[in-house]
Structure formats: structure tokens, C-alpha cells
Amino acid sequence: AQTVTQSQPEMSVQEAETVTLSCTYDTSESDYYLFWYKQPPSRQMILVIRQEAYKQQNATENRFSVNFQKAAKSFSLKISDSQLGDAAMYFCAYRRRGGGSNYKLTFGKGTLLTVNP
């Protein structure tokens, strides 16, 4: 079974600074997707960024980028120029690719990010 581990229950960052959230995962699959989701107090889970395992290039979305190390099974999220609106719970998630209609997401426990003004 796949597992996702987020070792940082809480993190804090000063506004405009950079912060990195860690995630490791365990899988025997070779082809899969990895995601970072953000859940603000409104409870809506919002996709921040996604990475296909077959792509060696790290994904980037504006101020958000990942460091994907497939051999190490590591998938960290870097938030640059942090803003107050980035404060939320961040979840790392895994989904296998292909294999019928198995669209189950496996989530880590989450990292609560606080942004200090």
C-alpha cells in the first residue's frame, strides 16, 4: 500500500520569505502523480501543484515549485515570496497512474503553515 508522510506538523514563515514543506512517500509503482493541496479555514481543498512521476522536470506554478526526487521518494513544496493568503493546511497526496478507474488519493497528515506579517 502507498503511504505519504509529512514530517512537519507545523511551519511558520515571515511574509515575503521562502518556506519549504517536506513530503516523502512510499510506493512500489513506477508511474504515478503527486500533488500538493491547500486547505484554508474555509475547508475547500485547492490544488496547488501537480507532478507526473515520469517527468524529470520539477513543476512550477507562479510562486510555488516542487523538488521531486524520485529515487529518494521525496516531494517538497517551496513557496516563494510568502503571502498572508498562503496560510493554510497543506497536504501532500499520491495517486497511481493508469490501472482502470482507481482514482483514489492517498494523503499525508498535513502541515499547518502560518504566515507572519
| Interface with other proteins (CB under 8 A) | 33, 35, 37, 42-47, 50, 91, 100-110
Which lies closer to other proteins via its Cβ, residue 72 or residue 103? 103
Which lies closer to other proteins via its Cβ, residue 16 or residue 46? 46
Min separation Cβ 17 and other proteins, Å: 28
Alpha carbon distance 111, 23 (integer Å): 10
Alpha carbon distance 2, 107 (integer Å): 10
Which lies closer to other proteins via its Cβ, residue 100 or residue 117? 100
Coarse DSSP helix, strand, coil percentages of the chain, rounded to the nearest 5 percent: 5, 50, 45
Beta-carbon count within 10 A of 11 CB: 16
Min separation Cβ 21 and other proteins, Å: 15
Min separation Cβ 39 and other proteins, Å: 9
Min separation Cβ 117 and other proteins, Å: 27
Which lies closer to other proteins via its Cβ, residue 82 or residue 93? 93
Beta-carbon count within 10 A of 14 CB: 11
Strands 88-96 and 32-39: antiparallel
